[in-house]
Structure 1
């Protein structure tokens, strides 16, 4: 059996921390803005740091598991690092947005919308699940 805990945590954090969906730090006009569907390089950096901190807490410190068949003495950093890299690359509006506002696919618009967040979340889930559950990428330290 596979451990779906890291996948669940990574996908939920991706949704909650996508800049502009629920919150954007820093916002375009204020330090914190809610539901503005905007993003920027600085807010993606801030949200990526928050994502990294929270995924470390949930996966490494707390050890969230859905199916825990065995224990490891060393920390597996793969779910954390893969999650953070995918978070940055798949943040809607940074590199691309699918669907865009005016076209089906837009590049570097620094804007997002609800449909794009949903599509990017599905892409995030698929890539993350394949790498963690199918390919079983591991990075141990210690």
Structure 2
């Protein structure tokens, strides 16, 4: 079986590689982006993001939905808020959470769409 992830030649495109090296070394944004994806990579946090993508919810609602302790949900929401993925608002004694903005919603929805396509491809290749 042939490995399609590996080149069969030793050609290096020096100009392309050098140009990208210069950009990569100067680009600290990639480190921030890596942290962003680490934050959303947690299974509990992705479930919270899914729920908040549906509707604004209070901590108690999220805890009931995910069948977890409120303190555990509060901890995860704090991480998401500090990462700029969710925002909150207080109404009386209740704190409601929602996605930070349309960027977070778009990233989440694109991830869901991409995942659905991958699943569809895998299901189609099994037949």
Could you say which TM-score interval applies, normalised by the shorter chain? under 0.3
TM-score in terms of structure 1 length: 0.26
Q: Tell me: higher relative CO, structure 1 or 2? Use CA pairs within 8 A at least 6 residues apart.
A: 1
- Structure richer in helix, relative to its length: 2
Larger radius of gyration: 2
TM-score normalised over the length of structure 2: 0.27
